[in-house]
Structure 1
Amino acid sequence: MTISSALSNAMTGLRAAGRNSETISANIANAMTPGYGVRSLDLSSSQIGGVNIDGITRNVNPALLADRGLADAAFNNANDRTIFLKGYEDTLGTPDTANSLSARVAEFESQLITATSRPDAPERLEGVVNAARDLATLISSASNDIQESRSEADRNIGIQVDKLNSSLAGVKELNVQITKTAVLGGDTSALQDNRQALVDEISSIVPVRQIPRDNGQIALYSTGGVILIDGGVAEIEFSPVNQVTPYMTLAGGHLSGLTIDGYPVRTDSARGALGGGSLGAQFEIRDELGVDAQTQLDALSRDLIERFQDPAVDASLAVGDAGLFTDSGIAFDPLNEVGVSERLSINAAVDERQGGEAWRIRDGINAAVQGDVGDSRLLQSLSSTLSAKRVPATGDFGSGAFSAINLVATLTSQLGADRAQAEQSQTFASTQLNELTQLVFAEGVDTDQELQRLLLVEQAYAANARMISAADEMMQTILRL
């Protein structure tokens, strides 16, 4: 080997060591960067001596990343559903908590019994009115919370659709840049990292399958079978509303669904084209969970109103008159049940806050003057109708007959079961996501291994530097002869 070839070999070794140290440093610096794929420098022996730098390889496990993306979507879906159900349950309260729906029905019943024993005591009559008002207020507040959750879900859908469209456009642009860079012989690793980060964002919204295409490009398909990107990009459209009301439903045409490239697609939880992630969960909250919760609460409110507007219970009432509980001050109309829980209130005739008198609880809602202060027959009738078993006219409570407290217990137990099932799904999805995330990190940057590689690179750098120094000394020796 000539001195010049030895010097040339050493120089290529120095360049390779320098490039390798840059690659290792980038790996260590990005050990926790989302979407980052660990790099390794590809080297080979040159036919004329020395070392060739063939390129950089980005080492990732596509199957593992895909499974992690699907797990992320499943967790977001389960988490959003759990948050809604837990929030609704907190509003109604569990039977063992004070101020819960069950507790307020029990308090109303207790106040009626107390007033029955002393119908002449104004404070006991006022206690009945206050308990009835508290019960109506809680139900109305729960209905408002349901609609606010539906409104928030509608807003979230709009935000996520915009983010989805933006991320898909970003993936398309990166596909083009990766192809151009690869054709020119450049390093596409950073571009692929950016693209993977966008794919991870998309996966949290919609579960997708990633399919490799020629020249380093990828295609994305939703698990519901929609082509999101495959050369061209799908255009997803949605029109949010400012406020969702009980009357507004997707089936009724009051709320927007999704269109993809101008064609409407299903958004239900069973067969939604983009279901399974956080976007699907928001549609489920707005169009299924929220609607079902409102329907059940309306059925409960209807049962409560109808119990007390019956002339057989209060002889002062005529057919069509409002009883103790009203639909915004009027009698309940079976053709206007939707949203009745939001409009539930007590009759102004007994409410001192609305100019009424509490003694009408004892003497009749439509009584013009006070009757016998010792007459407890109406109070007994009100107490009896509250505990009487009736078959609910609407709602999903089964075919049995229920007292008011039993109907409330059935509603809250159904809600508790749904919440528990959602939490179970959330726990499973969270565990799966954590395990897959750990596996991704395990196959990512191992800082200990990278530091060991860096030590070897330093040794190689020192050896090549020594070779250059030795060649220089030999050249100096020759020149001095």
Structure 2
Amino acid sequence: MSISSALSSALSGLNASARRADIVSSNIANAMTEGYGTRRLETAGRIVGNDGSGVRVMGVTRQEDSILIGQRRQADSQLGANRVQVDYGARLEALIGSPDQPGSLSGRLSDMEAKLISASNAPWNTTLLTGAVEAAQSLASNINQISSGIQSERQRADAEIGIAVDRINTALQGLDDLNKRILSVRSNGGEVASLHDAQAQLIDQISPYIPLQSRRETNGTLQIYSNDGHVLLSHRAMELGFDPSPGMDPFLSLANGNISGLTLDGRPLRLEGSNPALGGGELGALFDIRDRLGPEAQARIDAVARDLAERFDQSGLDPTIAPGDPGLFTDAGNLANPTNEVGLAGRLQVNELAMPSSGGAVWRLRDGLGAVTEGPSGNASVLTAQVDALTAARTTASGGFSSTNRTISELAAETLTLASMSRINAETSLSHTANLHSVLKTAELADGVDTDDELQRLLKIEQHYSANARVINVAEEMMDELLRIAQ
């Protein structure tokens, strides 16, 4: 080998060692950076004629376990969905309240029952009659609040859908921009590993909302699909469309067409049924709350309101009421109508004829709501009939409940039980998913930058650098000696 050939080989080795040192330093510096893929310098032997002439740098490769990362992203989606479900379930359960809470639905019912019984035992006592009317008002107000709270939860979900759609669209557009930059950089012979890192970070922003799959093309660009096959990013970024609702009430539904669905590049997506589009993540869970879980909860509390009103509307319970007139509980002043049950819980009111604040009188609770004048103070027949109606077991006609006969207190307890079971099931799923996510995240981090290994690589690079530097030093000495001999 000639001196010039040795120098050329050593210089190429020095250049490669310097590049390796830079890459290892970058790996160590970004060991804790989310989405960072470990870099490795790819080299090959340089051939001049038939002889080796050092090393040639082929490029920088980015290492990642795509299968493991894909599994972790699937867990991201399920974790996002479970968290949304748990939070909703906990808030719904708090709205209804547990029986040991005085302000709960069961507590209000128990209070009204106790005060009606007290009033029936002393029908001449105006204080006890007032207490019974106030307990009925508190019960109606509590049912109103539960209905309003359910619609607030639907409104919250609707608003969060709008935020999620904006974030997804922003991330998809960012991925599309990076695809264009990757094509440009690659065409100029540049390195694109940092652009791949940026794309990984953007994908991680989308994965909690939508379960997705990604694929890297041979030209370096990225394609993204949802688990159910919808293209989100290919030759360009697709755009999700959604119009948040300014308000929410029980009559607003996707089926009625008066709240927004979801579109992909202007094409409506199917959100109904067992496998809705883009389901399985936080976005799907939010739609589920707004369009299924919320309306189901509203239907149950409407059924409670209907059952309560119908107990006091029974024929013969209050002989002073004309046919078609409401009893103690009304639908905004009218007789509760089974054909207009949707939203009844939000309209439930105590009959104004028994409310002094509305021009009524509490003695009508004893003498009958249709009574014109006050009757005998010792007559407790209407009060006793009301107590019997409140505590009687009857079939619940709506709300998705079974046909079993139950008291109003049992109906309230079952409403709470259904909410609690939903929340407990969601918490169980959340616990399982969180454990799985933790395992996958730990494995992903373990497969990332190993700082101990990188430091060992630095020692080897130093040795290689020293060896090549020694070759150059020896070549210099040889040339100096040749020049001395020539003189």
Q: Provide, for residues 397-440 of structure 1, a one-character-per-residue CA deviation record: whole Å limited to 9, x for no partner.
A: 11112211111112111222122112222222222222111111
Could you tell me which residue of structure 2 aligns to residue 26 of structure 1?
Answer: 26
Distance 2:113 2:25 in 1: 73
Cα distance, 1:251 vs structure 2: 0.5
* Mapped contact 1:269–1:276 kept (Cα < 8 A): no
Q: What secondary structure is seen at the aligned counterpart in 1 of 2:61?
A: strand
Structure 1: which 5+ residue stretches go unaligned?
none
Mapped contact 1:221–1:229 kept (Cα < 8 A): yes
List aligned pairs for 1:321-470, cutoff 5 A: 321-470=325-474
Partner of 1:166: 170
Rounded to whole Å, the distance in 2 between the matches of 1:269 and 1:445 is 44
- Cross-structure match for 2:96: 92
> Are 1:116 and 2:117 an aligned pair?
no
Alignment of 1:4-403 (within 5 A): 4-47=4-47, 48-268=52-272, 270-403=274-407
SS in 2 for 1:55: strand
CA 1:57–1:359 in structure 2 vs 1: closer, same or farther (change >3 Å)? same
User: Does the CA contact (< 8 Å) of 2:321 and 2:369 recur in 1?
Assistant: yes
Structure 1 residues 217-243: Cα deviation after superposition (integer angstroms, max 9, x where no partner): 232221222122232443322222101
Instruction: Please give the per-residue CA displacement for 1:340-378, whole angstroms capped at 9, x wherever unaligned.
Output: 111122222333444433332222223333322222222
Q: Tell which deviates more after alignment, 58-67 or 44-53.
A: 44-53
TM-score, normalised by the number of residues in structure 1: 0.93
The Cα shift of 1:467 comes to 4.4
Between the two proteins, the alignment pairs up a number of residues equal to 481
Conserved? CA contact 1:71–1:432, under 8 Å: yes
Residue 206 of structure 1: how far off its partner (Å):
1.2
Residue 451 of structure 1, CA deviation: 2.2
Look up the equivalent residue of 1:16 and give its one-letter code: A
Describe the SS at the equivalent of 1:49.
Answer: strand
- In 2: Cα distance, 1:470 partner to 1:349 partner: 112
| Amino acid of the structure 2 residue aligned with 1:143 | S
1:474 positional shift: 5.2
Note closer, same or farther for the CA distance 1:298–1:145 as it changes in structure 2 (3 Å cut): same
Give 1:5 deviation, angstroms.
4.0
Output the CA distance in 1 between the equivalents of 2:464 and 2:370.
100
Shift of residue 269, structure 1, vs aligned partner:
5.8
1:476 Cα deviation after fit: 5.3
State the distance in 2 between where 1:14 and 1:354 align: 94
| C-alpha distance in 2 between matches for 1:213 and 1:16 | 28
Deviation string, structure 1 residues 305-328 (Cα, Å, up to 9, x no partner): 111133422222222222222222
Cα separation, partners in 2 of 1:269 and 1:97, compared to 1, 3 Å: farther
SS in 2 for 1:297: helix
Deviation at residue 444 of structure 1 after TM alignment = 1.0
Residues 438 and 370 (structure 1 numbering): CA distance in 2 closer, same or farther, change over 3 Å?
Answer: same
Q: Percent identity?
A: 41
For residues 177 and 424 of structure 2, the distance between their equivalents in structure 1, rounded to whole angstroms, comes to: 43
CA-based RMSD of the aligned residues comes to 2.2
